[in-house]
Chain A
């Protein structure tokens, strides 16, 4: 079974394509799971709905979270993720276009590990994705598998 390294939560198809391109070009992740709204993201993480056959023990090593997403809002996804025993240790990087202090503060209060504003310049965006991948998937030592299960 392929291990999902990154869960990308992004509703805008163009932003999704650009993020996937940047991830691929930097050879960061072989397998990226995309969730197009908050509900799908939680279904995936909690292995419910159409993901009910998924193994809870295999969680992504990094979640890239957009805040303005349909069905369930990004901050609510974050809250539930950080309040669940199986998923609370997954690093979450908020990747959003919002510059509102309110969102930044709320994000950190709910346990986000990082908050990054999507730059307009794609070269800069690729650079950020590269750094993120290196840091969270290579340098950072995450929780050992099954530690929280």
Chain B
């Protein structure tokens, strides 16, 4: 095992002097990168080289190649991007665990406060770094290698180690929360400022359409109409982002709430979407829940409007709302719509994630991300179950403690 010879850095240690070589012997490091962005890879390589690491590396972005590489080679460390085409760094981590391979894996996640990073911490990945903080990468790499060596020397049950891991998780959590906050503020101001230009586009487009209607050929009018549709679409997207960012920034106002009242309100508000549809509602009485009523209303609105939307092609839609079968506070929303493939299960709560063609089902891909965030803020859980063409069921479990 080749390791840089220096002491384990303290958790709160400030950034190393750029000119100081982290790795005085310039020992060779064998790395497997899981990365689909050449630019990101280049940045990572740059940061490691700058700190004195000499690298021998492979880079993959597909699952089979990854498996191939770890079966045939031995690496000191695996550095994985989180979001990959068709899979995630978390999947790679799970595969390693299954194969009983203890090569350390460092996750590099996007700078946008990925909710999913919290899941990674839960899964036991204690080593991750944000893409906009790559300057810390060499330090993290050396820390991980050092810890690996300690583990190899002292065995897995070392108590000191567990303590350090917990400390590290706490540090990561705090960092993630700070980034999330910043991201919310950023999202708010961006989405707010974006509204002005789209308001202008829509305004002048409409003026042309109404004022010069008799001078425009039909084709021109159709194109202008397409501009209008796009603007409306973008507006929905921005409104969704505004709600998402506000859900993150808002202080929670938690009370014991009767969700049945909220449910009735939401159903009334959704009436325009249900026009001309045959929808059978099966509503059971829900138990009281401890929550922020405004936020839970957003959750119920998103889940019900999804149910209405994704049953759109059913002659006879059936949408049910019922208490959780396990008796815990929360509720279940079930429909007989198009459903989704369970292999996409961990993607459905991502921002901008769409599983269906725009032509078939309208939407912005922000709704379920908002649901996820609100429920996470309540320290509850939300998950979905489905089969393609056989309806979807969403479970929301809250914490009444």
Contacts and interface: CB of A to CB of B under 8 A. Distances in A.
Which interface class (under 10, 10 to 19, 20 to 34, 35 or more) fits A? Answer: 10 to 19
Given A120-B195, A121-B232, A99 B206 contact: no
A118 B199 contact: yes
A97 B196 contact: yes
A12 B203 CA distance: 14
Interface string A90-126: 0000000111000000000000000000111111010
A97 B195 contact: yes
B207 interface: yes
Contacts of B204: 14, 18
A18 B200 contact: yes
Interface in B210-233: 231-232
Given A18-B204, A21-B207, A121-B232, A97 B242 contact: no
Interface residues of B, number: 16
A15 interface: yes
Interface in A16-32: 18, 21
Contacts of B196: 12, 14-15, 97
Contacts of A125: 199, 203
B192 interface: yes
A99 B200 contact: no
Contacts of B260: none
A122 B242 contact: no
A14 B203 contact: yes
Contacts of A18: 199-200, 203-204, 207
Contact of B242 (A99, A118, A119): A99
Contacts of A118: 199
Contacts of A121: 202, 232, 235
19 contacts: A14-B196, A14-B203, A18-B199, A18-B200, A18-B204, A18-B207, A21-B203, A21-B207, A97-B192, A97-B196, A98-B192, A99-B192, A118-B199, A119-B199, A121-B232, A121-B235, A122-B206, A122-B207, A125-B199
Interface of B: 192, 195-196, 198-200, 202-207, 231-232, 235, 242
Interface of A: 12, 14-15, 18, 21, 97-99, 118-123, 125
